Structure formats: structure tokens, C-alpha cells
Amino acid sequence: MVILKLPDEIEKARTSNRIVAEVLNRLREKVKPGVRTRELDKLAAEIADKKGAKPAFKGYNGYPYALCVSVNEVVVHGMPSERILEEGDIVGLDFGVCYQGFFGDAAITLPLGRVTQKASRLMQVTEQSLYAGIEQAKAGNRLGDISAAVQDIVEAAGYSVVRDFVGHGIGKSLHEEPQIPNFGKKGRGIELKSGMILAIEPMVNEGNYKVEILPDGWTVVTKDGSLSAHFEHSIAITDNGPEILSKKN
């Protein structure tokens, strides 16, 4: 069942998501060649703590960190480590909090210094596909309209969408119904309604869509070793269309 949110609940989700956006913005400044991915995790947890928000991922199904840091061929759920980020890497940062009982969740992929044209285009297309999906998130549309919009952009650019992981409803839980695949058909699936809050999160591979999980049980990598990018926003469907909650003001 998809849980519809009241205006005061959307306001709480807005606050949580703004904290997430602020943390991601602070991390943006910190992402430079030479930084260890563990330092990014530490900073994210510190900022959340200062704001009285609880990192949402830490302890979720046993995940041990506040932040997911996914470098190059890592699709999602990369774990912070002593790894030093280098010029030319692309790094996905995925962060969530719980504040006043409501969850916020968002992700960005950033370049380290100068990256190849290929890497840069992959990130651009992935972000563009996220916005194309968000545009379809309005009352009266169907879930498949979001999925198809994302898939169309990605595949027209010659890339593939990951099948094994999907976006999700979000609210008093990090993951609620519905699941939001990044592939599908226009006009199919549940009807979208005002009051839904959705985390839309395309994961896009430069090569084949197939992924595998490393022996650590978390790190998801592309099977063919190609680069992957990930962008995520939590959005509310309102009577005036989609509102991106996970952006700063």
C-alpha cells in the first residue's frame, strides 16, 4: 500500500530532505583528489549530528556507515574506507537522515578534478534522466511514466539502466511502496496521487546493465567493469506538480 502524506507530514519530510541536501552540498566542497572516502563519511555523520538528525543508512540491514561512497565502476552501496580519491575518478555520494520521524534520501555523482569526456557525459545523462523522471511525477500520471522517461533518456544516449536496484516511496520508513524501477512502460503501473513522496534514483551503466555484489555483501559493481553513475532526489507529488524536497531552499 502506498502511504499518502498530509501537508504537515510533507513539511517534515521537506525538513529532513533539506538536511540531506545541505550535507551533500558540504561534501561537494570536500571532494578533491587526496581525500579518503572515510573522511567524507565522518563529515556527513558530524553535520547530521549537529542538526539533530540521525543518519538513516547506519544500521539499516546492518550497513555500518552513514554514507555510501561509490567510486567509478561501483554502482551503489560502496562502503567508506581508507581509499584515497584520485583525479579522474567519479564518485557517487548517497546520504539519508531521519528527523522528526521522517526520512530524507538523495544522491549525487561528482567528478574528481578533470575527468574524461566519457565520464562527464555519463554523469550528465544520468542527472538528466532523473529530472525527466521527476517531470512525470504528477497526479494522474502512472508510475510507468516515470520509469519510461528515465529509461528513454538513458538508452537514447547509449547507456543502460540497472535492473536489480530501484527507487522507492519514502516517509516514516526509508523504503516504502511503491518500488520505482528505472525502466518500464508509459501508462502502466499504479496511478500517481497528490501526497505521495518518492525517491527517484536512476543508476546508469556505461556498458551492460548487469551488476554483481562484492564479497563484502554491500558493494554493487558493474559486471563488465564499466563506469556507473547515480543521482537521487526525494520528491513530493503536490496539486501543483512535483516538488523536489532534497534541495537546499
Interface with Co ion by CB under 5 A: which residues? 105, 199
Cell of 17: 530532505
Beta bridge partners of 220: 76, 213
Q: Contact 190/237 with Cβ under 8 angstroms?
A: no
Angle at 83 between CA 126 and CA 68, to 5 degrees: 45
Stretch that binds ligand MF3, among 56-64, 130-138, 147-155, 238-246 (CB under 6 A): 56-64
Which partner from the list ligand MF3, Co ion, none does 63 bind, CB cut-off 5 to 8 Å by kind?
Answer: ligand MF3
CB 85 within 8 A of CB 40: no
Task: Give the CA count within 13 Å in the CB-facing half-sphere of 163.
Answer: 5
Among 18, 77, 138, 247, binds ligand MF3 (CB under 6 A): 77
Under the binding rule (CB under 6 A), the answer on residue 41 touching ligand MF3 is no
- Judged by CB under 6 A, the chain residues 143 through 172 that form the site for ligand MF3 are 168
Nearest distance from C-beta of residue 90 to ligand MF3, angstroms: 17
Size of the site for ligand MF3 (CB under 6 A): 13
Question: Residue with C-alpha cell 549525487?
Answer: 108
Distance CA 97, CA 108 (A): 15
Query: Judged by CB under 6 A, which of 94, 127, 145, 176 binds ligand MF3?
Result: 94
Question: Residue 107 Cβ, how far from ligand MF3 at the closest point, in Å?
Answer: 6
Contact 83, 36 (CB under 8 A): yes
Site for ligand MF3 in 203-222 (CB under 6 A): none
At residue 93, what is the residue type?
Answer: L
Q: State yes or no: residue 63 binds ligand MF3 (CB under 6 A).
A: yes
CB of 166 to ligand MF3, least distance (A): 9
